[in-house]
């Protein structure tokens, strides 16, 4: 990241949501003179450091990416050698982006055609370029199509598989990457190994002494559906707070109330825990436990205990082992974190070379690391640059524009997009107790023009309604949003439960809900300083 | 820091008459296992789901998926990849 020439942050508020990563990006900008481009519906604070800001409409990402591709092809800026030698499906892609002339899709993208052309030239001409994205791309009902549209740009220009060039989804927690890597997924065993392969299942069964179930499981969204249908009756929730983090919360709450048994393991008593039958107090793994985590750049790093856990809180690993042993499951015993890791290494080829000793010696190792002589892999897909290409070609996957699941209309005329704020983390379970310079309050961010139109003053209390719910929140003037677009975070659900409003329309493959696009109605409830003021009259007069 | 933060869970809790109360580890684990086995006996392993923790360690996530696959017998496990 520090050695690249161009960083595109697409749907990523990295300065607030990934401040450490943003710091590394700024090293490239300040020391190397790299260019930073921000593509986002909001003029987020990182834009101050960017050489270009593209105000993409909510849901306009595929159209914009295709328009960039259109310009690259129109001006002959593509990497033809790479496309011919290392990719497949180019012709279909070329045919698709033909109809995305930037001038023709301005209404969809919201981005002036000149800016699209400038970005296309910048991306294609950069020696090295990294395209980063976060939830602005993936929290949509067509999330996978959005990602493909970006991958297509990297394939078109060859900005993949080289040092300082690539595609980088920034992860939202310290170990989202590791959760998937470890096989906490319904269709993959540890090391992303295919559950449907009988030989792989047998390897695990031989080590575990228990057959691995063959049937592909349900991802989180499908589990909610199965709860609604009464198929899933019991949940084991470890360190998650779905009661506040999911879209369309009223629906989620009713699903939890319908369970026969809810087991929660956490470091705090969350609203999810408050609904549990049994709550088990765990250690905070990053400060009180032994183990490893894996960062966005696939780097496995050691964690060591620095503090004693409070009260009777017990180590996460001990708790899971104890449950398995009490259920008389073959092959379980109490072991050290290192022994558990060594079992994983014996089963997952991409982790095999990462002993605790080597992780400590090298300060972390990036997977794949197949043997103890292997130094790890700073970037992936280098094979695409070997001639002939080793293994499969990288496919272009055609993506077409699709409107957001919910559109604004007369009844719900504002588009609400959601996100995170600096100094707060997700549903606030871990951050609400800390002091923050700007305080912990949720506000509805709105531009001056819209505030004037609705006769709103700074701090006025508003009633916000979507097709699913209504809540009250104070309004604040923001230069980040444009007319018709408003913003709220999900960080303070005890005060303002933003996800009551959001829509659970999900991507059919990824299962991610469209948190980024909710049509809402906004009305004033009362003024910011109602003392000695007839509130009801004030509302009436403003509406007259 | 974390050790002294407000709101940390200090004891296992179990639900009695609709309310959570403090319990010993042995009682809480006995209740947890009884609850899991009751649902497993009545509805089978596919009636279970697990949301594993993306703030916790690789080792915890490895054990959580192993638990669901070997102790319960289902692949219904996910980590926080979708929000």
pLDDT surpasses 60 at A398: yes
Which uninterrupted H or E stretch holds B26?
helix B25-43
* DSSP classification of residue A158: T
- Residue B73 with chain A: CB contacts under 8 Å: 213
| Counted domains in chain B | 2
Which uninterrupted H or E stretch holds A155?
helix A143-157
What pLDDT, on the 0 to 100 scale, is given for residue B2?
36
* Judgement on whether residues B22 and B50 belong to the same structural domain of the protein: no
- The SS3 of residue A32 is helix
Q: CA A263 to CA A14: how far, in whole Å?
A: 34
Alpha helix ranges (H) inside A209-336: 220-228, 242-245, 249-257, 271-274, 285-288, 316-326
Beta strands in A59-158 (DSSP E): 87-88, 129-133
Which uninterrupted H or E stretch holds B15?
strand B13-16
- Residue B5 with chain A: CB contacts under 8 Å: 433-434
What pLDDT, on the 0 to 100 scale, is given for residue A429?
80
What pLDDT, on the 0 to 100 scale, is given for residue A101?
98
Instruction: CATH 3.40.50.740 in chain A: give the residue spans.
Output: 176-366
Question: How many residues in chain A?
Answer: 544
- Residue A220 with chain B: CB contacts under 8 Å: 51, 78, 80-82
Task: Tell me the pLDDT band of A526, cut-offs 50, 70 and 90.
Answer: confident
Model pLDDT for residues A127-140, shown as the tens digit of each residue: 999 999 999 999 99
Q: How far is A480 from chain B (nearest CA, A)?
A: 23
Residue B2 lies in a domain: no
pLDDT surpasses 90 at A216: yes
Interface test with B, best of A136, A234, A291 (most B CBs within 10 A): A234
Cα–Cα distances (Å) from A457 to A6, A445, A447, A453, A512, in that order, read 40, 12, 11, 11, 35
Contact A493, A422 (CB under 8 A): no
Cα–Cα distances (Å) from A468 to A142, A306, A410, A471, B52, in that order, read 21, 45, 16, 10, 28
Neighbours of A398 (CB within 10 A): 17
pLDDT surpasses 50 at B4: no
Residue B3 lies in a domain: no
pLDDT surpasses 70 at B6: no
Q: How far out from the chain centre does Cα B5 lie?
A: 23
Report the percent of chain A where pLDDT is more than 70: 97
Which uninterrupted H or E stretch holds A117?
helix A113-125
What pLDDT, on the 0 to 100 scale, is given for residue A395?
98
* Judgement on whether residues B81 and B49 belong to the same structural domain of the protein: yes
Q: How far is B26 from chain A (nearest CA, A)?
A: 10
Could you please state the CATH topology (level 3) that the domain comprising A6-170 is classified under. Dimethylsulfoxide Reductase; domain 2 (3.40.228)
Terminal CA-to-CA distance of chain A, rounded, Å?
Answer: 55
Compute the average pLDDT of residues B23-28: 98
Lateral strand order in the sheet of A365-366: A291-294, A299-303, A365-366
Computed over its alpha carbons, how large is the radius of gyration of chain B?
15
Q: Is residue B70 within 8 angstroms of chain A, CB to CB?
A: yes
pLDDT surpasses 50 at A531: no
Q: CA A49 to CA A37: how far, in whole Å?
A: 9
Residue B6 lies in a domain: no
Alpha helix ranges (H) inside A454-497: none
Locate A29 and state its tokens. Answer: 């900008």
Q: What is the residue whose two structure tokens read 């709550």? A: A279
* Judgement on whether residues B54 and B80 belong to the same structural domain of the protein: yes
pLDDT surpasses 70 at A12: yes
Q: How far is A520 from chain B (nearest CA, A)?
A: 21
Model pLDDT for residues A422-446, shown as the tens digit of each residue: 878 888 887 877 777 777 789 999 9
For chain A, positions 134-163, list CB contacts with chain B under 8 A. Answer: 139
Kindly determine whether residue B65 and residue A238, on different chains, have CB atoms separated by under 8 Å: no
Q: Is residue A514 within 8 angstroms of chain B, CB to CB?
A: no
Q: Calculate the average pLDDT of chain A.
A: 94
Cα–Cα distances (Å) from A488 to A356, A382, A407, A504, A507, in that order, read 42, 40, 18, 17, 22
Q: How far is A312 from chain B (nearest CA, A)?
A: 5
Nearest by CB to residue A280, choosing from B8, B12, B20, is B12
* Judgement on whether residues B28 and B48 belong to the same structural domain of the protein: no
> What string of DSSP letters covers A283-296?
--HHHH--EEEE-T
Q: Is residue B34 within 8 angstroms of chain A, CB to CB?
A: no
For chain A, positions 439-458, list CB contacts with chain B under 8 A. Answer: none
Compute the average pLDDT of residues B41-53: 97
Burial of A306 (0-12, 13-18, 19+ CB in 10 A): exposed
* Judgement on whether residues B55 and B73 belong to the same structural domain of the protein: yes
Q: How far is A439 from chain B (nearest CA, A)?
A: 17
CATH of A176-366, one of 1.20.20.10, 3.30.70.260, 3.40.30.10, 3.40.50.740: 3.40.50.740
What pLDDT, on the 0 to 100 scale, is given for residue A247?
87
pLDDT surpasses 60 at A453: yes
CATH of A414-543, one of 3.40.50.970, 1.10.760.10, 2.40.40.20, 3.30.70.141: 2.40.40.20
Contacts of A78 (CB under 8 A, 6+ apart): A72, A124, A156, A157
Q: CA A207 to CA A121: how far, in whole Å?
A: 53
Which uninterrupted H or E stretch holds A103?
none
For chain A, positions 219-258, list CB contacts with chain B under 8 A. Answer: 219-221, 223, 226-227, 231-240, 242, 245-246
- The SS3 of residue A322 is helix
Q: How far is A431 from chain B (nearest CA, A)?
A: 10
Instruction: CATH 2.40.40.20 in chain A: give the residue spans.
Output: 414-543
Q: Is residue B22 within 8 angstroms of chain A, CB to CB?
A: no
Model pLDDT for residues A87-125, shown as the tens digit of each residue: 999 999 999 999 999 999 999 999 999 999 999 999 999
- The β-bridge relationship of strands A6-10 and A129-133 is parallel
Interface A–B counts its CB contacts (< 8 A) at 327
Q: Which domain holds residue B36?
A: 11-43
Neighbours of A12 (CB within 10 A): 27
- Helix axis angle for A61-74 and A113-125, nearest 10°, is 60
Compute the average pLDDT of residues A247-261: 93
pLDDT surpasses 70 at A535: no
**Global pTM value:** 0.91
Cα–Cα distances (Å) from A166 to A81, A89, A129, A131, A142, in that order, read 17, 20, 7, 6, 22
* Judgement on whether residues B53 and B82 belong to the same structural domain of the protein: yes
Nearest by CB to residue B79, choosing from A180, A277, A330, is A180
For chain A, positions 348-367, list CB contacts with chain B under 8 A. Answer: none
With CA atoms as reference, the chain A residue closest to B18 would be A277
Residue B81 lies in a domain: yes
Contact A367, A300 (CB under 8 A): yes
- The SS3 of residue A170 is coil
Q: What is the residue whose two structure tokens read 């089978």? A: B44
pLDDT surpasses 50 at A263: yes
What pLDDT, on the 0 to 100 scale, is given for residue B5?
54
Burial of A476 (0-12, 13-18, 19+ CB in 10 A): middle
Q: What is the residue whose two structure tokens read 């684990």? A: B29
Q: Calculate the average pLDDT of chain B.
A: 92
Nearest by CB to residue B46, choosing from A231, A276, A300, is A231
Kindly determine whether residue B55 and residue A512, on different chains, have CB atoms separated by under 8 Å: no
* Judgement on whether residues B48 and B22 belong to the same structural domain of the protein: no
- Residue B27 with chain A: CB contacts under 8 Å: none
Terminal CA-to-CA distance of chain B, rounded, Å?
Answer: 27
Task: Tell me the pLDDT band of B82, cut-offs 50, 70 and 90.
Answer: low
Contact A289, A170 (CB under 8 A): no
* Judgement on whether residues B38 and B58 belong to the same structural domain of the protein: no
* Judgement on whether residues B52 and B76 belong to the same structural domain of the protein: yes
Among candidate residues A507, A522, A506, A523, the one with its CA nearest the CA of residue A248: A506
- The β-bridge relationship of strands A365-366 and A394-395 is unpaired
pLDDT surpasses 90 at B1: no
Q: CA A284 to CA A287: how far, in whole Å?
A: 6
Q: CA A139 to CA A147: how far, in whole Å?
A: 11
Phi and psi at residue A526, to the nearest 5°: -160, 165
pLDDT surpasses 80 at A254: yes
Nearest by CB to residue B49, choosing from A223, A309, A313, is A223
Compute the average pLDDT of residues A219-239: 96
């Amino acid at each position: 990241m520090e050695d690249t020439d161009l960083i595109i942050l697409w749907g990523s508020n990295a300065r607030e949501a990934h401040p450490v990563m943003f710091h590394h990006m700024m090293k490239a900008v300040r020391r190397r003179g790299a260019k930073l481009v921000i593509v986002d519906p909001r003029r987020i604070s990182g834009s101050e450091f960017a050489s270009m800001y593209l105000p993409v409409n909510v849901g306009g990402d595929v159209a914009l990416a295709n328009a960039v591709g259109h310009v690259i092809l129109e001006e002959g800026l593509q990497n033809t050698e790479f496309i011919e030698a290392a990719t497949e499906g180019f012709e279909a892609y070329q045919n698709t982006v033909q109809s995305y002339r930037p001038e023709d899709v301005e209404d969809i993208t919201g981005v002036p055609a000149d800016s699209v052309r400038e970005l296309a030239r910048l991306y294609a001409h950069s020696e090295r370029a990294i395209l980063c994205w976060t939830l602005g791309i993936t929290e949509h009902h067509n999330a996978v199509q959005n990602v493909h549209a970006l991958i297509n740009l990297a394939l078109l220009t060859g900005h993949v598989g080289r040092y300082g060039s690539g595609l980088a989804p920034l992860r939202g927690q310290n170990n989202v990457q590791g959760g998937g890597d470890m096989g906490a997924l319904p269709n993959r065993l540890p090391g992303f190994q295919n559950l449907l392969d009988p030989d792989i299942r047998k390897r695990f069964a031989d080590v575990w002494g228990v057959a691995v179930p063959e049937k592909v499981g349900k991802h989180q969204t499908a589990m909610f559906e199965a709860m609604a249908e009464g198929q899933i009756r019991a949940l084991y929730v470890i360190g998650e707070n779905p009661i506040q983090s999911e879209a369309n919360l009223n629906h989620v709450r009713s699903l939890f109330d319908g369970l026969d048994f809810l087991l929660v393991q956490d470091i705090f008593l969350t609203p999810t825990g408050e609904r549990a039958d049994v709550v088990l107090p765990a250690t905070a793994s990053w400060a009180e436990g032994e183990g490893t985590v894996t960062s966005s750049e696939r780097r496995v790093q050691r964690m060591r205990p620095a503090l004693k856990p409070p009260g009777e809180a017990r180590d996460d690993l001990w708790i899971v082992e104890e449950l398995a042993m009490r259920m008389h499951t073959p092959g379980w015993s109490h072991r050290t974190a290192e022994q558990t890791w060594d079992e994983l290494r014996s089963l997952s080829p991409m982790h095999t070379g990462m002993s605790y000793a080597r992780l400590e010696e090298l300060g972390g190792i990036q997977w794949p690391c197949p043997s103890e002589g292997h130094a790890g892999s700073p970037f992936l897909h280098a094979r695409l640059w070997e001639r002939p290409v080793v293994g499969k070609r990288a496919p272009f996957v055609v993506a077409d524009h699709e409107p957001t699941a919910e559109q604004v209309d007369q009844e719900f005329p504002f588009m609400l997009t959601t996100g995170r704020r600096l100094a707060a983390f997700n549903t606030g379970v871990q951050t609400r107790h800390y002091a923050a310079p700007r305080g912990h309050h949720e506000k509805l961010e709105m531009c001056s023009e819209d505030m004037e139109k609705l006769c709103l003053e700074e701090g006025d209390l508003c009633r916000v309604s979507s097709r699913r719910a209504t809540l009250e929140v104070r309004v604040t003037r923001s230069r980040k949003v444009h007319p018709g677009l408003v913003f709220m975070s999900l960080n303070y659900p005890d005060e303002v439960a933003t996800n009551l409003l959001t829509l659970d329309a999900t991507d059919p493959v990824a299962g991610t809900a469209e948190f980024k696009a909710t049509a809402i109605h906004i009305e004033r409830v009362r003024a910011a300083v109602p003392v000695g003021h007839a509130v009801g009259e004030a509302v009436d007069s403003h509406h007259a | 820091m974390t050790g002294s933060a407000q709101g940390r869970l200090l004891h296992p809790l179990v639900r009695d008459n609709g309310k959570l109360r403090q319990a010993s580890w042995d009682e809480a684990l006995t209740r947890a296992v009884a609850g899991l086995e009751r649902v497993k006996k009545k509805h089978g392993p596919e009636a279970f789901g697990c949301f594993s923790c993306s703030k916790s360690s690789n080792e915890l996530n490895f054990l959580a998926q192993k638990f669901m696959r070997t102790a319960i017998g289902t692949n219904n496990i996910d980590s926080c990849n979708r929000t």
